[in-house]
A and B are shown apart, each in its own frame.
Chain A
Amino acid sequence: MSEQLSTQEFRQTSVKKIAVASVASLGIAILVFVGAVLPAEYGVDPLGTGDALGLLALSQVAAISAEASEYKRDFSELKLRPSEWAEYTYRLEEGATMLYSWTASGVVAYNFHSAPDGAPPGYAESFDAQESDSAHGSYSAPFTGVHGWYWENLGQEEVTISLSTTGFYRDAHEARDRVDGYHSLMDIHGKSLQDGSK
């Protein structure tokens, strides 16, 4: 069997050589781990090699991403009669983030979707489509365009949706059966901004 062949070459190798090679490989492994892997992967740098070689930078995660555009807040209440729908969207640049929370007085069908700038009319990418009476989370725009919710009242009663968002968006835009227009936003102090009406 060729498995016998496998180590035939080393049959004559001295015990000392094998032992030295094994111990040395363990020693070098520990050195590489402490000197390179620890600083690069875990940000721990006991030997100072991570600092000297610039490996520490690899372990630093960008926890903060600064935004250049203005911080906005928006609260909106939408009333939907049975089988009525509404769409509420924001303009976000690529990478801009938004925190959101909405609750409804009854279960509604919703769809969070985004349409990139320049996309053909009616084109949108859907990120979350369900039936629920609330949703909360954060959103980071994968592309520049309009991003927001479509809600539809599936029940027999009027439903009120309370939406609250903060983030780095520009306009808020509401569209529904009858109403179609821009909403004014608030700045960090809660003062109304007219920035949205363009």
Chain B
Amino acid sequence: MTAVAASVTLAAHPMDTQNAAFVQGVSGPAPAPFMYLGAKHMVTGYDHLLFLVGVIFFLYRLRDVLLYVSLFTLGHSATLLLGVLGGIEVNAFLIDAIIGLSVCYKAFENMAGFERIFGRRPNTKGAVFVFGLFHGMGLATKLQEFTVTENGLVANIVSFNVGVEMGQILALTAVLIVVTYWRTWPSFLRHSFLANAVLMGGGFILTVQQVFGYVFYS
């Protein structure tokens, strides 16, 4: 075993230092930069992306995609706004661990795990909404890791949130295109069970990593 001193990147995807320096230095409303940061966070945030893949995996109709994504958005917007405005700081490792588990949950649900193993499936819309709340708490913690000045706070959180939604639309469009194309292959159904197992594995990696971080670094 080699012990190597390392500066550790613990968060699933922290803002890089240059962006952090900007957030710390800013005073007053800065809509465009915060929108950009929100969008960047979403597009490069594989925890949110994996969850979205799980959510839309079996949603064939655009109406359903919009319904579920709206529920998710409602959830994370609520906790992002309340979290930062109320100064509620939850341990980032634990929140990110729950976000990781949300991916596993969704994959397990897609595999019909709940009805086959436990006899019944919890409300799928409710689950997406509740996990949306946790994803929002994650976003709030990320934003609060940097001292965001009171001056222009509300405008900046709203901008960040708008950016998150824009990033989500971008990411979702990309995911939808890929999944829709994949569905045209005859092998889609054959591989979709395995795909959800892989998704679950991805969620577990995120979870285990955050639990490790919580135990050793918090």
Contact = CB atoms under 8 A, between A and B. Distances in A.
| A and B assemble together | yes
Interface stretch (B45-53, B106-114, B165-173): B106-114
B111 A21 contact: yes
A33 B209 contact: yes
Interface in B109-123: 109-113, 115-117, 121
Contacts of B200: 21-22, 25-26
A48 to B, nearest CB: 8
Interface stretch (B29-37, B91-99, B135-143, B191-199): B191-199
Contacts of B6: 41-43, 59-61
B205 A32 contact: yes
Q: How many residues of A sit at the interface, in one of the four size bands?
A: 35 or more
B3 A43 contact: yes
Contacts, number: 127
A33 B193 CA distance: 23
B194 to A, nearest CB: 8
Q: Describe B's contact surface by its main secondary structure.
A: helix
A13 interface: yes
A9 interface: yes
Nearest to A36: B205
A13 B115 CA distance: 11
Nearest to A32: B205
B147 interface: no
Interface string A56-79: 100111010000000000000000
Interface residues of B, number: 45
Interface string A10-21: 110111011101
B59 A9 contact: no
B59 A6 contact: yes
B64 A13 contact: no
Contacts of B201: 25-26, 28-29, 32
B59 to A, nearest CB: 6
Given A6-B110, A13-B116, A56 B2 contact: yes
A7 B58 contact: yes
A156 interface: no
A97 B104 CA distance: 47
Contact of A5 (B1, B60, B115, B203): B60
Given A6-B59, A10-B111, A41 B8 contact: yes
Interface of A: 1-3, 5-7, 9-11, 13-15, 17-19, 21-22, 24-26, 28-30, 32-33, 37-38, 41-46, 48, 50-51, 56, 59-61, 63
The 10 closest A-B pairs by CB, nearest first: A29-B204, A6-B58, A43-B4, A43-B6, A10-B112, A25-B201, A7-B112, A59-B6, A25-B200, A21-B197
Interface of B: 1-9, 57-61, 64, 104, 107-113, 115-117, 121, 124-125, 189, 192-194, 197-198, 200-205, 207-209, 212
